[in-house]
Amino acid sequence: MTEFIKKSDLETVLSGAAALQTREVNARAIQELRGIAEGDNVEFPVEVVYELADTLLIPREYVKKYLDIKSPSRERQRQTVIELGATVVSSVHTDIMNVYSGEILQQLTESFPLDKFWVELNQPHLGDVGFKRRRGEEVERWFSRRKKIVYNSYDLVMEIKTGSGEGKLGVSVNIHRADVAEACREKLVEIKNRLGKFLGEYSVHCSYFEDSPIKGI
């Protein structure tokens, strides 16, 4: 070991020593935890965590700082939402939109095997979604007589928008293609019946009719 350390190396040496200490402390912490209880789902009072930190020479202020970030209180969560100017989206809202986006996408994919479908968020803060499609067409290659699928430009075939009212989630389904309406008709009815108790105002709009009552006026 050298007797002198360059000033330029001082930070590196101290940082390396701190890293070694942290690694040893972590190793001791793992041994302590293994001796306390079996299983990852065991819960401890926060005071036990502080006491364990004391034995590992971890200042309590850093334990509290980390816990405040990892598991903020409800009041802290509310304050953060206010500071961010955020719109609160409930877990029920998220779960309902996951059902619609996942099951409708699967229905479309199964109904139109030559086409490509995907889901896009129209309003990320609300979870409104749009279903887009690229139509596929089998084309025979003249030089090999093998068929390949050629995809056209994409179009928006369905949108699902949401709104809140009376503690429930309002859902508006906008369908832009007749074949999509036919393919998803039963699935949309099934989802509505299954999730009915969570839904508020519900409506379906079809924008593809050519015989509009005001056409030609």
Give per-residue pLDDT as tens, 20-38: 777 776 776 666 666 555 5
d(CA 167, CA 141): 57
Residues 120 and 154 grouped into a single domain:
yes
Query: For residue 38, is it within any domain?
Result: yes
Query: For residue 2, is it within any domain?
Result: no
What residues contact 30, with CB distance under 8 A and at least 6 apart?
none
Mean pLDDT, to the nearest integer, of 2-29? 73
Average pLDDT, the chain: 78
Q: What is the pTM of this model?
A: 0.53
Of 83, 109, 132, the position where a domain reaches its end is 83
- Give the residue numbers spanning the domain of 164: 91-206
Mean pLDDT, to the nearest integer, of 38-57? 74
d(CA 53, CA 27): 13
DSSP letter assigned to residue 20: H
Confidence of residue 153 (pLDDT cuts 50, 70, 90): confident
Of 83, 109, 141, the position where a domain reaches its end is 83
DSSP letter assigned to residue 6: -
Confidence of residue 217 (pLDDT cuts 50, 70, 90): very low
Residues 161 and 182 grouped into a single domain:
yes
Query: For residue 216, is it within any domain?
Result: no
Of 83, 100, 125, the position where a domain reaches its end is 83
pLDDT surpasses 80 at 69: yes
Confidence of residue 108 (pLDDT cuts 50, 70, 90): very high
Residue 96: name the closest of 70, 71, 72, 129 by CA: 129
Least confident of 14-28, 57-71, 160-174, 184-198: 14-28
Please report, for the chain, how many H helices and E strands are present, in that order: 6, 5
Q: In what order do the strands lie in the sheet with 168-175?
A: 116-123, 128-140, 147-165, 168-175, 199-206
Residues 72 and 97 grouped into a single domain:
no
Domain count, the chain: 2
Confidence of residue 192 (pLDDT cuts 50, 70, 90): very high
Which percentage of the chain shows pLDDT scores above 70? Answer: 73
Query: For residue 215, is it within any domain?
Result: no
Residues 118 and 69 grouped into a single domain:
no
Mean pLDDT, to the nearest integer, of 94-123? 88
Position 100 scores a pLDDT of 92
- Token pair for residue 173? 């389904």
